[in-house]
Amino acid sequence: MYFNSHDDRDKGSVIDWMKNRVNSGRIVGIDQQPGRNVWQTVNDHFRAYLNLPEDQRPKLELPPISITAPGEKFHSIYTKDCRPLENTAYLESRGITRSTIQNPQFAGRILNQLHTVQKEGMPAKTFVNTAFPAYHEGRVVGLELKGEGYKGQAPESEFSRSLWLSKLPEGRPAAHMVVAESALDALSYAQLHPGEKALYASTAGVLTQNKIFEMKRLLSEERIPSIRAAFDNDTQGHHYDTRLLAGFASEQNPMKVVREHKHLLTVEVTATNPAGVQALTNHLKAYNDQTARQYRDQAGETNTQAVSQTLRDEMISSTKLGPNTYQFHVPMNREALGAFNQGATQSLAFEHKIEIVKSQGKDWNQDLKQDQMQQVVKRELGPVDENQYGFGMDHWKNEPIEGVGKITAQHQAQAEARERESDC
């Protein structure tokens, strides 16, 4: 099989390779013969080649393979296909306003990428995607692409160790780095929290150890004191929180994820001072007790062996491997992971201050669109209780929101609480 990196239509088997050259005239002497259809011509050229003595068969002299620097292949694609951001239709369809798009922090960090497709017998069609450049050590090495009904990445992109990044805020150093799963979520967070002085980052949907190394480098070089994890409010988002905590754990209590099973996550903590681990264990015991009470309330007096096993599967357990080493076995669900992460941030030491913030819905863009819908309802219907229209409904089992259920008011209250904690 082969693939032509300069033409996404030129790919397939060796038969496709010959057919595409018969049709295109790419190679002198390989063309369609009079009175022969394309497949007959393909066979003719193969037969003529194979009938030659081996020493007479044409050979392609290739230059020696050279090792390219990371992102070098990608850069020509980046410069050839990208334009400054002019078409903002996709961003605005996702609730991102022009004032957010025009924020100096995002200047040059959102682009348009042109992608031309031409099918046989049809005129060429050019699609305009929204592109988010991925950076590694200050160099663009990839593009996260978004369009109506489409998401992907540019060929040759390197996402294993790169991040989409905003520019630093003007006027003073960033108070913290906000990292989300997508650039769209980072923009949505920024729009919902307009007063924050933050450096915004996106992992493009994947969190690797190399991306965590890049975050550490940025925090140190730019002297940013804390990181705010704003991953999605689903199981994967909470799983990423755990990975981030492990990556930033202090030398006082090194932490690592040692097993990632479909239903269970095992985290190992080594701590010479047992006080932090004991505090974490107490927090997890309280979670287990609450889970057991809720489960028994729902199950009634039933206490069969099957019910007991199901309850055990929902519990967080721990094992002591040695004098200073502990393993925590966390069910791979949103509630258990969230409880572990909350206990870890409160009980253990980290290289930088870490905060975990969650959207009310699945992600920050969903919150943004819900907030805008609430504003439309208020403008059209007056000061009514928006819960009756479904906008304040708690689809993700978060704590109930008092009052009219306004998303922005909830986020503002959370931000003010964080500010008070910082001042203490």
pTM above 0.85, yes or no: no
Q: Read off the pLDDT of residues 327-336 as tens digits, 9 standing for 90 and up.
A: 999 999 999 9
**Domain-located, residue 68:** no
Query: Which domain-ending residue is among 356, 382, 401?
Result: 356
Average pLDDT over residues 9-16: 84
164: confidence class by pLDDT, cuts 50, 70, 90: very high
Q: Tell me: do 307 and 372 sit in the same domain.
A: no
Lowest mean pLDDT among 68-72, 397-401, 407-411: 397-401
Assess if residue 70 is contained within a domain: no
Clarify whether residues 319 and 296 are in a common domain: yes
Q: What is the mean pLDDT of residues 134-158?
A: 85
Domain total in the chain: 3
Position 61 pLDDT exceeds 70: no
- 356, 375, 409 - which closes a domain: 356
Residue 112 lies in a domain: yes
Q: Is residue 57 part of a domain?
A: no
Three-state secondary structure along the chain? CEECCCCCCCEECHHHHHHHHHHHCCCCCCCCCCCCCHHHHHHHHHHHHHHCCHHHCCCCCCCCCCCCCCCHHHHHHHHHHEEECCCCHHHHHCCCCHHHHCCHHHCCCCEEEEEEECCCCCCCEEEEEEEEEEEECCEEEEEEEEECCEEEECCCCCCCCCEEECCCCCCCCCCEEEEECCHHHHHHHHHHCCCCCEEEEECCCCCCHHHHHHHHHHHHHCCCCEEEECCCCCHHHHHHHHHHHHHHECCCCCEEEEEECCCEEEEEEECCCHHHHHHHHHHHHHHHHHHHHHHHHHHCCCCCHHHHHHHHHHCCEEEECCCCEEEEEEECCHHHHHHHHHHHHHHCCECCEEEECCCCCCCHHHHHHHHHHHHHHHHHHCCCCHHHHCCCCCCCCCCCCCCCCCHHHHHHHHHHHHHHHHHC
In a domain, 67, yes or no: no
The pLDDT of residue 306 is above 70:
no
Model confidence at 272, pLDDT cuts 50, 70, 90, reads: confident
One domain, residues 171 and 311: yes
Are 117 and 199 in a shared domain? yes
CA atoms of 244 and 353, how far apart (whole Å):
12
Question: Do both 155 and 278 map to the same domain?
Answer: yes
Q: Is residue 39 situated within a structural domain?
A: yes
18 and 145 part of one domain: no
Q: Are residues 213 and 346 in the same domain?
A: yes
The boundaries of the domain holding residue 413 are 366-423
Q: Which tens digit of pLDDT belongs to each residue from 93-115?
A: 999 999 999 999 999 999 998 87
**399 lies in the same domain as 334:** no
Residue 17 domain flag: yes
Asked whether residue 189 falls in the same domain as residue 289, the answer is yes
Do residue 105 and residue 229 come from a single domain? yes
137-146, 231-240, 278-287, 396-405: range with lowest mean pLDDT: 396-405
Q: Following CA atoms 309, 313, 315, 316 in sequence, which dihedral angle do they give, to the nearest 10 degrees?
A: 140
Q: Model confidence over 81-96: pLDDT tens digits?
A: 788 999 999 999 999 9
Instruction: For residues 321 and 384, state if they share a domain.
Output: no
Residues 136, 113 share a domain: yes
Whether 12 is covered by a domain: the verdict is yes
Angle between helices 274-299 and 334-347 (to 10 degrees): 150
